[in-house]
A and B are shown apart, each in its own frame.
Chain A
Amino acid sequence: LAKTTQPISMDSYEGQEVNITCSHNNIATNDYITWYQQFPSQGPRFIIQGYKTKVTNEVASLFIPADRKSSTLSLPRVSLSDTAVYYCLVGESNAGNMLTFGGGTRLMVKP
């Protein structure tokens, strides 16, 4: 199983861009990189997923270098409501593979 390493916590201010980097040195060829967001007393929620290069959706961008040993979640212009824990996962969802959550990154957005 690919292990991920993320910063334990980050602070930011409203309106800033936040970049959270995840290290996954032993990522496998068939593995995808997925990011989830979790608010207190809620289950994690899917944010974005990618395999290589760059993926963008309405809430975030995901940057993946050519060697795929790391990835960066970019949140543009964060607001107070983006305060949450962000998890980076590496793996597949089909039978036989597990998706393992690490400790996540606690993002605190300040006014």
Chain B
Amino acid sequence: EAGVAQSPRYKIIEKRQSVAFWCNPISGHATLYWYQQILGQGPKLLIQFQNNGVVDDSQLPKDRFSAERLKGVDSTLKIQPAKLEDSAVYLCASSLGGAGPGELFFGEGSRLTVL
């Protein structure tokens, strides 16, 4: 079974530029998550989708970050304009969703360096 795919794996940009990350979740997974992981810290949830609807984006810096999951499958996370403090690994995860417990399946992440 294919895992969660993310691209690009690495991206270097200058501050005030824009960047976009793509995620393809595991087939059939209704719930998709974007996390930000700064070096030395645990992953921080940015946004959670259930199919193509946003469940919670309370921790997404909406002045510069945006995310969409138009057809309930792939998702894109965009940062515009980027700041130095956005340097981090952006992790996408997916799960079956539904009630009760669940396991998150993570991609390898997209490492962003903002100069």
Report if A and B associate in a common complex. yes
List the B residue with the shortest CB-CB distance to A32.
B101
CB of B87 closer than 8 Å to a CB of A: no
A35 to chain B, nearest CB (A): 11
- Beta-carbon contact of A45 and B106 below 8 Å: yes
CB of B72 closer than 8 Å to a CB of A: no
List the B residue with the shortest CB-CB distance to A45.
B106
Q: Across the interface, which residues of B come within 8 angstroms of A46, CB to CB?
A: 103-105
A43 to chain B, nearest CB (A): 3
Q: Across the interface, which residues of B come within 8 angstroms of A102, CB to CB?
A: 42
Q: Across the interface, which residues of A come within 8 angstroms of B43, CB to CB?
A: 44, 101
CB of A76 closer than 8 Å to a CB of B: no
Please report the total number of A residues contacting B with Cβ < 8 Å: 25
Which residues of A, 59-111, contact B by the 8 Å Cβ criterion?
85, 87, 92-96, 98-104
Which residues of A, 6-61, contact B by the 8 Å Cβ criterion?
32, 34, 36, 41-46, 49, 51
Interface set of B (CB-CB < 8 Å, partner A): 4, 31, 33, 35, 41-45, 48, 50, 55-56, 91, 93, 95, 97-109
Q: A34-B103, A92-B99, A94-B100 are in contact. List 5 more A-B contacts (CB 8 A).
A: A32-B101, A43-B109, A93-B104, A99-B33, A101-B45
